[in-house]
Amino acid sequence: GLTGGIGSGKTAAADFLAERGATVIDADVESRALTAEGGEALPRIREAFGDGVFDENGLLNRRALGNLVFGDREKRLALEGILHPMIQHRMIKKIRQAGVEDVPFVFLSVPLLFETGMDALCDETWCLSLPVEEQIRRVMARDDMTREEAVARIESQMPLEEKCRRASLVIRTNRPIEATQAELAVLLRELRRRLG
């Protein structure tokens, strides 16, 4: 299980591991597929949140939905209630498929790994970690958000230090990305030695 806070470097780490030939099953990819044009989750999202979170072409306005749910705990839980079971269903199908194909191990990249209990599916959990100020700065820069928007998203998750406390391994990402990648390369080699 690969996890961390928003903007802590999960995607960058998952991309690197995938480039090195590892199988990565990413909750964000599944979530986007479910909410892309014609996505399976859209009817239920429209039912729960109304037309206001869709644009004139019927596409989901992620920013509007984000601002709605990250400012209101009940709405966030309602959205999670729609999406999380669908995401988990799709991920479990992919895990089974990897098993059929004799893939020796897979990474589950899940921002809410501990919050959703999906860590129970994992033999090992790696948490990507950085100081919260750096996290805010990266989220603001990457997503062109105000400080308030970034903080609302960060505060909706389990505190990063709690995730790190629960994880089997903590990987720091407040350093040049090459340093994180070098550590990941060693860890991947070691996993292959053990499980490959």
Here the tokens at position 41 are: 């989750």
Taking the complex as a whole, the smallest distance from the CB of residue 64 to ligand ATP amounts, in Å, to 17
Cβ atoms of 1 and 120 within 8 Å: the answer is no
CB neighbour burial string for 47-61, b if at least 16 within 10 angstroms, e if fewer? eebeeebbeeeeebe
For ligand ATP, what does the binding mask look like between residues 121 and 150, x meaning CB under 6 A? Answer: -----------------x---x--------
Distances (CA, A) of 116 to 27, 29, 90, 113, 130: 11, 17, 15, 6, 22
Q: 110: how many CB neighbours lie within 10 A of its CB?
A: 28
> Using CB atoms within 10 A of its CB, is residue 29 exposed (0-12), middle (13-18) or buried (19+)?
middle
DSSP states of 56-68: TTS-B-HHHHHHH
Nearer to ligand ATP, 21 or 176 (CB): 176
Q: Please identify, using beta-carbon distances, which residue of 50 and 186 lies nearer to ligand ATP.
A: 186
Cα→Cα distances 79→53, 70, 154, 155, Å: 12, 10, 17, 17
Stretch of 2-10, 83-91, 96-104, 160-168 contacting ligand ATP, by CB under 6 A = 2-10
Contact 45, 140 (CB under 8 A): no
Among 2, 42, 86, 111, binds ligand ATP (CB under 6 A): 111
> From residue 24 to residue 43, what is the string marking binding to ligand ATP with x (rule CB under 6 A)?
----x---------------
Per CB under 6 A, the segment of 4-12, 72-80, 92-100, 182-190 that binds ligand ATP is 4-12
Asked if 66 is part of the footprint of ligand ATP (rule: CB under 6 A), the reply reads no
Q: Which region among 7-15, 57-65, 71-79, 99-107 touches ligand ATP (by CB under 6 A)?
A: 7-15
Q: Which of residues 81-100 bind ligand ATP (CB under 6 A)?
A: none
Q: Footprint of ligand ATP on residues 165-184 (CB under 6 A)?
A: 173, 175-177, 180
β partners of residue 34? none
Part of the chain binding ligand ATP (CB under 6 A), chosen from 5-13, 39-47, 68-76, 78-86: 5-13
Chain residues that interact with ligand ATP, rule: CB under 6 A: 4, 6-12, 28, 111, 138, 142, 173, 175-177, 180
